[in-house]
Chain A
């Protein structure tokens, strides 16, 4: 699939804390802006991939009826992988395009993280032996039911094993906040942060403070993908999908009983993506890492191969992840300081960078960028894009 498909359109609504608009309306607005960006019409879309299933505002059928898509060839809804689903949707779209069943694929994603159900609220459990049941039956009775809590088990383990420090966690939060000062669209634009601010922020679930945790915002974004051949006739400079992969920890339904609780889906996804692209970590100019929490960002930097396991703390505190560093990370400010659209904003930012439209936050001579996804109990995904 290497370089056979590309992103030719992106669109985003503003990101806010609070909205009166339903998810479907926001998803339609972002999608309209994405097809216009691509220079095509809604009725040219013949496949719709929905990350996070109905979170984008309904079924694919609901979406098509409201958007004016007349002839849908293919649709898929991704479930369960949470924040890994937007990158996984790029993989699904690429498969549909390379397989010849679709020619213009739309991926809309709306997250009502602020106005809708919060990630910290328990999900409905099901059969008695699925991931949501594990949380309800075996973690929640001990007060561990939210991502800030069960992901901090991993962060603590990383600190115990490798000596990762709270200031190194803070270095991630600070870098994202500095980048957000260069992005007027970021929720935290004009809200600078110092290490003292970070250390003074209240504890949520040690080792996580408030400023280790991502934002909760409302907003939507969408991508249009097509084949590389078709992209030649479209108005935007295409951003090629050089490699993409997904992966899962084992067992995915439970964190404590993994042989190594620091083993994450990205450990398996990243080698698949690099192999497809024929690239290695040293080839990458920038990375948009799924920064749901600071510790998870460090873990993913390691799993994506940018440093060895256990060296992520030093890697981030040495300034590598800042604009101007060896691997600028989350040039838009990330989930920590831009907005939280389940990672779709990371893909949009990678496209922005590879089109050279990053403005004050542009990575100089950016040619190849990575986007990772993380969700559920550490499902992982990774895409390698090039211009």
Chain B
């Protein structure tokens, strides 16, 4: 038996495109707007969410038959908060440098609606292995959008990528700046992230008409 059946593979690949958490399910928009001013922050967030969502999905899935339905949202919230806080404490104790980089994201991860959304929509009704794959797949789809948005915002807003000055130096007027190009400071602000995400949704739907809802 193959490790991944056809259905399992779909769990991993669907969220990358036709069932993308951000552009189709509209989950995780807030953090996609907040932290994509730089490519590096986007990547860190994508990786962190992948770890938390995959593990969280498994935990919720294991508990799915014992969680009382009346308080399931609270239980989900506590599971994810406890997980993230424990990881944060362990990092602070043994990998302090890394934890400094991640600490800002802790709050953003706990409140990220993609996590609650996938717990609620998938992990509560599926077995652990499938929930794990769903977590990885959705986090990858989420991360993909984050990285695309971060790429354009950093490139057009600061003229850099991962901190490297790819378009030249805006102060010394070298590279593109020598011929009068200027960074667009508006790209650094959240409204432009919304517009970039909007453009992505537009492109995706114009290429795949089945995604357009009927009125």
Do A and B make up one complex? Answer: no
